[in-house]
Copies of this chain bind each other. A is one copy, B any other.
């Protein structure tokens, strides 16, 4: 099962492009990539509110939309100045992110011998739109709205195993992020690290290299999903 944002799809390029179109349409002087990074930076804090119990479970779609309002305000822009439907559409860019070039061929190859699916904080509708648009050949999609848990909550890793009638160790998480893999391992899953040095663009390659160093403890280490398929 695959982490999606960053591991299977290139969220930063997709969101940067969508923000760029939005900014051009409204004549806004914003740096689309910086806006994308600021939007993404609000991702973990928003889920933390759910994980900590500070708020009831809310769809990732809702969190992304709330965070968009926050990022607009942080850029000195009033969300009310834009049509709500237009902001909803911009926020839906998270449903239609481009895959890394090796994702579809690698997952297709793995699917021949294994069950493949996302293990993502995305909700089911988001993951379904992503799969249809990117051509991701999942066997099944169990979104965070099905498991009712956000990673790295242990339940987010264990509930898919329960639905599939498997022991946690019969599932392998594939991810580009050490924290995700560490939590999966703690929950009993097998782990595969896939390096995505370009996730945050060339300027932050050094921080990703540091994460690569952390990869020593995983069951498998790969430089792409096609590489992982060969190892499997």
A residues lining the B interface (CB < 8 Å): 61, 115, 123-125, 128, 131-132, 138-143, 145-146, 163-165
Contact = CB atoms under 8 A, between A and B. Distances in A.
Given A124-B164, A125-B164, A125-B165, A115 B140 contact: no
Contacts of A131: 139-140
A139 B139 CA distance: 7
Contact of A146 (B61, B125, B128, B142): B142
Nearest to A59: B165
B139 A132 contact: yes
A143 B194 CA distance: 30
Contacts of A143: 163
Nearest to A163: B124
Given A115-B128, A124-B142, A138-B140, 8 more contacts: A115-B132, A124-B140, A125-B164, A125-B165, A128-B164, A140-B140, A143-B163, A146-B163
A145 B163 contact: yes
Q: Which of A132, A142, A146, A165 has the most CB of B within 10 A?
A: A165
Which 10 A-B residue pairings sit nearest by Cβ, starting from the closest? A125-B165, A140-B141, A124-B163, A125-B164, A146-B146, A128-B140, A140-B140, A128-B139, A145-B163, A115-B128
Nearest to A127: B140
Contacts of A141: 139-141
Contacts of A61: 165
14 contacts: A115-B128, A115-B132, A124-B163, A125-B165, A128-B140, A128-B164, A131-B140, A132-B139, A138-B139, A139-B141, A140-B140, A141-B141, A142-B146, A146-B163
